[in-house]
C-alpha cells in the first residue's frame, strides 16, 4: 500500500508495531520495496504503536515516541487471525477440508494452490 501511495505522489509514514516491516514478503521483493520506499523518503518507525488519533494528529509510543501532526489520511492495516467457526460443527457430518486463512493466515496464492491441489485430489 505504501508503494502505491508514494507512486501517486503522497508523503508516507509507516508505523509498525513489530520489529520489521513487510514480514512475510519474499526476500528479493522485500529488499526492492524497502529500497524504493527509502529512496522516496518514506519514514518507517518499527517497534512503535499508535496510541491514539485525534483529528490530524497521530500519537506514537515505543521506539519512536511523540506526535505526528498535519496528517491528511490514515491507512490502517491490522493483523489477521484464522477464523473457522464451521469446522467443529461440520466435522463428522460431511467431509471437511479447510484451506486459506481459515486454516492458517497466509498469502492468497498459497490458498489458491492448496484449493487447486485439494480439488485435483478429490
Percentage, residues of the chain above pLDDT 70? 100
pTM given for the model? 0.68
CATH number of 2-68: 3.50.50.60
Which segments of the chain does DSSP mark as H helices, in order?
2-7, 27-39, 86-90, 108-121
pLDDT at residue 79 is higher than 80: no
Residue 60: partners with Cβ closer than 8 Å, 6 or more residues away: 15, 45, 48, 49, 50, 51, 66, 67, 68
Cell of 36: 524504493
Report the 10 Å Cβ neighbour count for 115. 13
2 close to 14: Cβ distance less than 8 angstroms: yes
pLDDT of residue 82: 87
Domain spans, the chain:
2-68, 86-121
Amino acid at each position: 500500500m505504501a508503494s502505491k501511495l508514494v507512486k501517486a505522489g503522497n508523503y508516507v509514514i509507516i508505523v509498525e508495531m513489530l520489529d520489521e516491516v513487510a514480514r512475510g514478503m519474499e526476500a528479493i521483493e522485500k529488499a526492492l520495496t524497502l529500497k524504493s520506499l527509502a529512496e522516496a523518503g518514506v519514514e518507517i518507525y518499527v517497534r512503535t504503536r499508535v496510541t491514539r488519533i485525534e483529528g490530524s494528529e497521530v500519537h506514537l509510543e515505543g521506539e519512536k515516541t511523540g506526535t505526528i501532526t498535519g496528517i491528511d489520511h490514515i491507512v490502517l492495516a491490522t493483523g489477521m487471525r484464522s477464523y473457522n467457526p464451521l469446522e467443529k460443527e461440520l466435522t463428522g457430518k460431511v467431509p471437511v477440508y479447510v484451506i486459506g486463512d481459515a486454516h492458517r493466515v497466509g498469502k492468497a496464492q498459497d490458498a489458491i494452490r492448496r484449493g487447486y491441489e485439494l480439488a485435483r485430489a478429490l
